[in-house]
Structure 1
Amino acid sequence: MGYFAGLDVSLEETAICIIDGAGHIVREARAAGEPEVLVAFFRASGMEMDRVGLEACSLTAWLHAGLTEAGIPAICIETRQAKAAMGAMPNRTDRNDASGIAQIMRTGWYRAVHVKSPSCRSRRALLTARRMVLNKRRDVENGICALVREVGLKVGTPNRKDFPARIRALAADDPVLTSLAESLLAVVEVMTREVERLTKRVIDEVRIEPKCRRLMTVPGVGPLTALAFRATIDRPDRFRRSRDVGAHLGCGDELARTALYEAAHSLLIRSKKWSALRAWGMNVAKRRGMARARVAVARKLAVILHRMWADDSEFRWGKHALALTAAA
């Protein structure tokens, strides 16, 4: 007889429920949410698990890796799907959620979530850290502007290089404001230095990653976009069709979606070389506006990047670009 288990994971401890093939609860327990503890629990149970389910969460990759390495068939399932399946429960508790996940494992009514490889998780961590520092730096800069604005001083729109000098000039006649501004500008300086270090790490990572270098042959796609796409997709074969990638990123991953949107902006606004993709995007912009064109081009970029990765193919500039190259 096969056995199925559900894990309701939390930071402190994990609720565990094991059921048999008929759906009857065989054992319930609570244990620390540590891979080695959970592995020891299943081994001590003496029951061979057919499937062990857990919802996608911040601890999922860590727990999933520990369980699968120990030979336990762990499956990560979509949070929305799990909630929909358990929504009819009159009383939502950790214990009941674990039981509900176990029943989902038994019936097979689930969609497994891809758990990214350690290398991809490391790359995503690098990109997330960089974006976090960028966002915090912007928050501090906005806070400085708000401080000087409270005394009637307007910063305007200086570039980042001129921002400290502009703030110091505005605050020069106010000792208290000068002192506060200097403290905050010191924070901005440290953050700027760390952003540069993290950006260099991204570039260094891309230099040794052949897939990223291939993706960067697409106009508008730089190191950040290439690494974000590489870290998000992980394995191209998990998408049956390239067009599924555009839909997946459109309603899911914010990191890759933002990177692709920025790449689309670069392609439409900064790129000088003609391509069929840029021509298509500019036509969309004429009909529906630049904002919608960026979204449309970002989705097309996702499809193109996936196909190039899956086929080891080159970017197709289009017939017009080929004709210009031949004429030159």
Structure 2
Amino acid sequence: MTTTYLVAIDLAKRHFQVCATDFSGKVLFNRAFSRQKLMVFLSGQPRCIVAMEACSTSHSWGRLAEGAGHEVRLIPPIYVKPFVKRQKNDAADAEAISEAARRPNLHFVAVKSAEHQARAVTFRTHQCFVRQRTQLINALRGHLAEFGIVAPVGATNVTRLEEAIGAEGDDLPPVVHEMAGFYIEQIKALTVRIDGLVQRLQSAYRTDAFLRRLCTLPGVGPVTAGAHAVLILDQAGWHHSAELIVPVNITLMSLPPRCPELNPVENLWQFMRGNWLSNRIFQNYDDIVDHCCRAWNKLVEQPYRIMSIGLRQWAHGS
């Protein structure tokens, strides 16, 4: 009987495509499973490699597979796409995951613990509530500005708006008083929720050694320490070294080879070279260093230029 070496799963909500292969890469079967049947299959399957694309639901399935004794490999989707054959479908995707999981020197995404995901949910909920509160404040400011009531920008100045509404007295229509009260009530409720979430994130920071170590970095505080970052880098050798230890809240995403136009660092260097370093004759090595330093200092003085060069649309999925 042929032993299953690798099981590749194309994740979904209800029906999952499973491609099982032996050690040589021969496909043993490639068929769909329901959610319940997939759980039973992973629990009863002898120890093997379980490969999936890294996504929002892959970590829960990864924990389930690890609990059954399997080795889990979560692959960034960008590494799977080159192996998808024509006529893209679930079966082809599962087979592509199986092919990608066998590549040597491929970095896999670490399976997150339930506690780590819970901390991330808390952080995202905090960010969501902050955006909602900002939206409400901006709407209230816009409505009141139509009646000549203004206040400085910021959540701390909502009380000024509330005081100004009361000071206006009968000059404001009753409906405006009522609607402004709705806004202020929602803003205060969200502020209470946000403060509670901040306290919860700070308590996690005090008890987690990894978060405390992250807070030693400039610009990182107790709230943002639990956020997840995607680091985009080129395919330099040391970026893929087996000795490189990547924290669980950082995902490395390599750019395609020979594509310097996608690398913001290359874009910045091209801008410096084209504006301040090209068509020049340098006297010696020190002269080159001096010109590069002056060009770098000129660029640092233009932070909005750096943002316009580095924040490309492709990096935001648009």
TM-score tier by shorter-chain length is 0.5 to 0.7
Identity %: 20
Residue pairs, 1:140-151, within 5 angstroms: 140-149=136-145, 151=146
| Partner amino acid, structure 2, of 1:117 | S
Q: Deviations over 1:39-87 (max 9, x none)?
A: 422455x6x464221101110110000011101222110111112321x
Question: Match for residue 62 of structure 2?
Answer: 64
Residue from 26, 30, 44 that aligns with 2:28: 26
Using the size of structure 2 for normalisation, the TM-score is: 0.64
Bigger relative contact order, structure 1 or 2 (CA pairs below 8 A, ≥6 apart): 1
Q: CA shift at 1:203, angstroms?
A: 1.7
Residue from 292, 300, 305 that aligns with 1:288: 300
Question: Match for residue 152 of structure 2?
Answer: 157
* Alignment of 1:222 onto 2:221: yes
Q: Contact 1:39/1:70 (CA < 8 Å) preserved in 2?
A: no
Using the size of structure 1 for normalisation, the TM-score is: 0.63
Distance across 2 between alignment mates of 1:123 and 1:77 = 22
Question: Match for residue 199 of structure 2?
Answer: 200
* Alignment of 1:116 onto 2:116: no
Which is richer in helix? 1
Distance across 2 between alignment mates of 1:239 and 1:105 = 16
Q: Deviations over 1:273-318 (max 9, x none)?
A: xxxxxxxxxxx777613737999xxxxxxxxxxxxxxxxxxxxxxx
CA separation of 1:39 and 1:160: change in aligned 2, threshold 3 A: closer
Question: Match for residue 133 of structure 2?
Answer: 137
CA separation of 1:212 and 1:43: change in aligned 2, threshold 3 A: closer
Distance across 2 between alignment mates of 1:74 and 1:167 = 55
| Partner amino acid, structure 2, of 1:127 | F
Distance across 2 between alignment mates of 1:285 and 1:115 = 42
Distance across 2 between alignment mates of 1:100 and 1:193 = 48
Distance across 2 between alignment mates of 1:218 and 1:23 = 45
Question: Match for residue 279 of structure 1?
Answer: none
| Partner amino acid, structure 2, of 1:41 | F
Distance across 2 between alignment mates of 1:210 and 1:52 = 31
* Gaps in structure 2 of 5+ consecutive residues: 232-240, 255-295, 308-318
Question: Match for residue 302 of structure 1?
Answer: none
Q: Contact 2:136/2:187 (CA < 8 Å) preserved in 1?
A: yes
Q: CA RMSD in A?
A: 3.7
Distance across 1 between alignment mates of 2:200 and 2:87 = 48
SS at match of 1:223: coil
Question: Match for residue 78 of structure 2?
Answer: 80
| Partner amino acid, structure 2, of 1:101 | I
May I ask how many residue pairs the two structures share in their alignment?
Answer: 250
